[in-house]
Amino acid sequence: MNQELCERRVIHEDRVHKAREHLLHYPELDAMGDLFKAVSDPGRLKIVLALAGREMCVCDLAALLDVTESAASHQIRILRNMNLVKNRRDGQVLYYRLVDDHVMHLVRVAREHVRELTKGR
């Protein structure tokens, strides 16, 4: 597309081009970033873990996280917009649950990584 490479100091132009081509294999890169961002907040990560195997309503989650229900609602909205959780209404109560177990897979891999990293410390 653009050729601003010419204006720039590049030591290994071949590698840059190869890397650029490699990145083309990841057109969903921004969406991946958004997914990682969704679970990067400790509160939202706790929500995801809490909903693994359990339906919970917003006020339960607020109690679990020790934040206001408004804050919990704002956080779960982000997870909902990312299609990580969905809800089911029963009267006045909205029960939240994980959409599927893809997220938990991601979380398990992350936990393995962290355990490996902190093993030798």
Partner DNA sequence: TTAGTATATGAGCATATATTCATATAAGGT
Partner DNA sequence: ACCTTATATGAATATATGCTCATATACTAA
The contact set with DNA (CB under 7 A) reads: 9, 11, 37, 40-41, 43-44, 57-59, 67-71, 73-78, 80, 87, 89, 91-94
Q: Which does 101 bind (CB under 5 to 8 A by kind): DNA, a second copy, none?
A: none
Integer CA distances (angstroms), 103 to 1, 24, 63, 116, in order: 35, 24, 23, 20
Q: Which does 91 bind (CB under 5 to 8 A by kind): DNA, a second copy, none?
A: DNA
Q: Does 9 bind a second copy (CB under 8 A)?
A: yes
List of long-range contacts for 101-109, beta carbons under 8 Å, 24+ apart: 101/52, 103/39, 103/48, 104/48, 104/52, 106/35, 106/39, 107/39, 107/45, 107/48, 107/49
CB 24, min distance to DNA, A: 20
* Residue among 79, 85, 98, 103 that touches a second copy (CB under 8 A): 103
Q: Does 81 bind a second copy (CB under 8 A)?
A: no
DSSP state of 121: -
